[in-house]
Amino acid sequence: MITIPVALQDSPYEILIGDGLIARAGEFASRVVAPCRSVVITDDHVYPLHGESLLSSLKLVGFESYPLLVPAGEASKSMDAAAGLCDKLIGLGLDRKGAVFALGGGVIGDLAGFVASIHYRGIPVVQIPTTVVAQVDSAIGGKTGVNSPLGKNLIGTFHQPGLVIADTETLRTLPEKIFTEGLAEVIKHAVIADAPMLDLLPAEKSTDLTGLIARNASIKGRIVAEDEFETKGMRALLNFGHTIGHAVESVAGYGSLSHGECVAIGMTAALGLSVRLAGLPQDEADRVQAVISSCGLPVTIPPTLPTEEILQALSRDKKFARGAIRFVLTKELGSAFVSDRVTLADVTDAVERLRV
């Protein structure tokens, strides 16, 4: 097992990474949360695979835990779903001494974290991510939230987990498409902080992924520790590829394209802008785009998505500051910066260049 600290000043915690950790989750969780009445928020795909193992481990150390299932998929990441879960927590008698365990991918982590942050004005949450996206990115850093019909992740809070338990054995149970989409976040981390990691891709879910997951979790944890609330600019670097990616995801309709597929499209646009506006060598952009394609991820926008609608969705993104676009670019692989010089015309051109 690899342990990575997230050295936040007020709420430090650890990320545990290794095979078979769900069976010991109760042991680990009891070190940071006193055994109590709790819920395991998960979905109807993950629960049959890992739910009973988690509940058994929690029971062994004294947690009284109840499973709460939502339908798998992005549609569950909504205010209605969050309100319904809060009602269930109240009905089960979870008070301020209760806790939430988030067992699943990015949707579950964001939704369960959001519920934990608003129930009784905040109760502990332990993140137990089961996808690549969640283990390398979304379960780390305390960003929680749900989607609005007007945009992705527009309703949310910062609520740090007490612990993150990344059981890499769960990745072997993923459908190939779900596994592959997570590699988009690995590529993002390589571009902004660790260029040599590109040589490790594409990865296979049948191999030992502990080292790769830990390498990515370390990048995310370090950036979060330096800029917990995205006020210093450092954490914004994690949005590489997400500005256009989130807009594409919103216009396509949540669930039509996976988050990772949309990030891959967004990264392709960001690489093109980086070449034209930041001086990124074309061969480096080509190298990343080749890795994106080799991972089975898209590099073009579906022709059914109008540019005008993508731009409208982009204008509602949180990365707009008083109407100005804050766009993450890279001058050389392994580093990135936030630019406020990207114009709407630049973005329009970048989107159009992604047409088949």
196 token code pair: 């040599």
Low-confidence ranges of the chain (pLDDT < 70): 318-324, 356
State the Cα–Cα distance between residues 86 and 171, nearest whole angstrom.
29
CB atoms within 10 A of CB 213: 25
123 token code pair: 């109760």
Total residues belonging to the chain: 356
State the Cα–Cα distance between residues 291 and 90, nearest whole angstrom.
47
* pLDDT value, residue 41: 99
Delineate the domains of the chain, giving CATH numbers in brackets. Answer: 2-173 (3.40.50.1970), 176-352 (1.20.1090.10)
* pLDDT value, residue 320: 64
180 token code pair: 């592959």
State the Cα–Cα distance between residues 76 and 261, nearest whole angstrom.
19
What string of DSSP letters covers 183-195? HHHHHHHHHHH-G
pTM of the model: 0.96
Q: Are 322 and 312 in contact (CB under 8 A)?
A: no
Phi, psi angle pair for 146, to nearest 5°: -130, 170
- Measured between its terminal Cα atoms, the distance across the chain in Å is 44
* pLDDT value, residue 319: 62
Write the single-letter amino acid at 240: F
State the Cα–Cα distance between residues 101 and 108, nearest whole angstrom.
10
Residue 343, CA distances (Å) to 140, 216, 287, 334, 348 in order: 31, 31, 26, 24, 9
Q: Are 127 and 104 in contact (CB under 8 A)?
A: no
State the Cα–Cα distance between residues 171 and 133, nearest whole angstrom.
10
Would you state the torsion angle of the CA atoms of residues 259, 261, 266, 267, taken in this order, to the nearest 10 degrees? 110
Write the single-letter amino acid at 307: T
3 state DSSP class of 105: coil
CB atoms within 10 A of CB 340: 9
Residues ≥6 apart with Cβ < 8 Å to 183 = 132, 201, 202, 203, 260, 295, 297
* pLDDT value, residue 318: 65
* pLDDT value, residue 254: 83
The most distant pair of C-alpha atoms in the chain lies apart, rounded to whole Å, by 59
With b for 16 or more beta-carbon neighbours within 10 A and e for fewer, the 113-125 pattern comes to bbbbbbbeeebbb
Phi, psi angle pair for 302, to nearest 5°: -55, 135
Write the single-letter amino acid at 343: T
Write the single-letter amino acid at 233: G
* pLDDT value, residue 226: 96
